[in-house]
Amino acid sequence: MCISSPRAQIVIGIALATLMAATRGHHFGTLEHLPSASWAVLFLAGCYLSSRWVFPALLAEAALLDVAAVTWGGVDNFCVSPAYGFLLPAYGVLWGAGRWYAARHQENVVTLLPLAVSLVFGAALCELISSGGFYFFSGRFEQTNLTQFAMRLVTYFPGGFSAVLFYVGIAGGIHTLLSVAGAVAARTERFRTSS
């Protein structure tokens, strides 16, 4: 599903980086703030962008945005802990899920099954790694056990997953509209040249 046009790659990359910058720091959506798009951005970058340097660039952007939010933005530093490094493999899973889906993408409805599989497994594994790392290794919780961790997953995963679905759904709608417009334009051009 990687877009072959260098111009389109640049436009998509800039759009995804801008979306992350506009939403990171607000992990739960309100009327004033959209929910964080970071997970969706990493998944979509894996789907659409072919260059491998984009993943480390997005990781650097996320880290810089977090530093800025804590240092100058008044955001509490509760989540900044020794477990912060677990975001690397967690985000890597989302990127990899996007790459996996891109290799299976088709321009028809059949594509929804591998899309759903990659989204569910990618987001669930990302949540397990990032939340598990934070819960067990951040030093913020005195008593840790699997039962409490499972309760935290049940509490927090639906909100994170709904944000991923929200942004990937919008991207899917845009992708579909552009695909249909491209197909109509191609048919019109073929008709015009054959006449």
Closest CA to 78 of 140, 27, 5, 124: 140
- Calpha distance 77→100 (Å, rounded): 34
Kindly report, residue by residue over 146-165, the tens digit of the pLDDT. 999 999 999 999 999 999 99
Q: Following CA atoms 170, 8, 55, 126 in sequence, which dihedral angle do they give, to the nearest 10 degrees?
A: 20
Residues 6+ apart with CB under 8 A from 173: none
Spatial contact of 88 and 98, defined as CB atoms under 8 Å apart: no
Spatial contact of 105 and 44, defined as CB atoms under 8 Å apart: no
pLDDT tier at 103, thresholds 50, 70, 90 = very high
Q: Is the pLDDT of residue 187 over 50?
A: yes
Kindly report, residue by residue over 20-65, the tens digit of the pLDDT. 998 986 544 454 678 899 999 999 999 999 998 999 999 999 999 9
Tokens of 107: 């321009």
% of the chain exceeding 90 in pLDDT:
68
Spatial contact of 86 and 133, defined as CB atoms under 8 Å apart: yes
Q: Is the pLDDT of residue 119 over 90?
A: yes
